[in-house]
């Protein structure tokens, strides 16, 4: 488990360990190729096997076209898109060597619709959908299946603190926002050996808020 927040990822790994999982925490910036290399070394030292990679780094800064600075723009693409590119490039060879792997990239419903206050975030997530297809084409012959998920509103701690979840509910046919587990279940299938033929798809997981 890799995160910028070392204390947070360590606490999460400890919780999983209490449930019987062999969870290892690593503090690293997944937009930094050198730091990713050190994480890869850790994986190799523990046996060199990697079956599943979930690219879930993300973040946003609100702003209109006039308000967004170039630093905002670069940061948004670095966090939401460059991380997917670098992490996949770093770890794919471990999967190719065994002719088995599952990669899941987390995009967003915002990548499919206009977002006047988040144009840079929406553009980055749309690019994740496109990159997922290209990765799937390149890695598929090696039995490494690449897919994505596009969540809608999720009741994360950050979203709950920001207070905007309730205003989304009237636009969701099931009349609730997602719990993190709702998204995780779809990722779990795409990342499992049960998925043998879903390739290059980005699955919408938004309670029907956006249907394409």
What positions carry a catalytic annotation? 121
C-alpha dihedral sign at 44, 51, 81, 164? negative
> Distance between the two ends of the chain, CA-based, in angstroms?
32
Q: In the chain, at which residue ranges do the beta strands (DSSP E only) sit?
A: 2-3, 26-27, 52-55, 101-106, 144-151, 202-205
Cα distance between residue 29 and residue 6, in whole Å: 10
51 token code pair: 């079956």
> How far is it, in rounded angstroms, from Cα 76 to Cα 82?
9
Please report which helix (H) or strand (E) contains residue 69, including its range. Answer: none
Contact in structure between 148 and 129 (CB atoms under 8 Å): yes
| Distance of alpha carbon 201 from alpha carbon 148, whole angstroms | 6
Sign of the C-alpha dihedral computed for residues 73, 180, 182 and 186 taken in this order: positive
């Amino acid at each position: 488990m890799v995160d910028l927040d070392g204390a947070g990822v360590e606490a999460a790994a400890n919780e999983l360990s209490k449930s019987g999982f062999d969870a290892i925490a690593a503090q690293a910036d997944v937009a930094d190729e050198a730091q990713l290399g050190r994480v890869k070394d850790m994986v190799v030292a523990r046996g060199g096997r990697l079956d599943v990679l979930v690219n879930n780094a993300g973040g946003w800064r609100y702003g209109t076209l006039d308000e967004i600075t170039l630093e905002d723009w670069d940061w948004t693409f670095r966090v939401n898109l460059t991380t997917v590119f670098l992490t996949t490039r770093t770890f794919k060879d471990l999967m190719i060597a065994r002719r088995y792997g599952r990669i899941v990239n987390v995009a967003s419903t915002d990548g499919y619709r206009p977002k006047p206050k988040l144009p840079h975030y929406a553009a980055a997530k749309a690019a994740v959908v496109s990159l997922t297809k290209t990765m799937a084409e390149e890695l598929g012959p090696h039995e490494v299946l690449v897919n994505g998920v596009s969540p809608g509103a999720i009741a994360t701690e950050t979203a709950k603190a920001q207070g905007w979840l309730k205003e989304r509910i009237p636009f969701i046919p099931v009349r609730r926002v997602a719990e993190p587990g709702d998204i995780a279940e779809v990722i779990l299938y795409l990342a499992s050996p049960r998925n043998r033929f879903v390739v290059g798809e980005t699955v919408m997981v938004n309670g029907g808020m956006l249907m394409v």
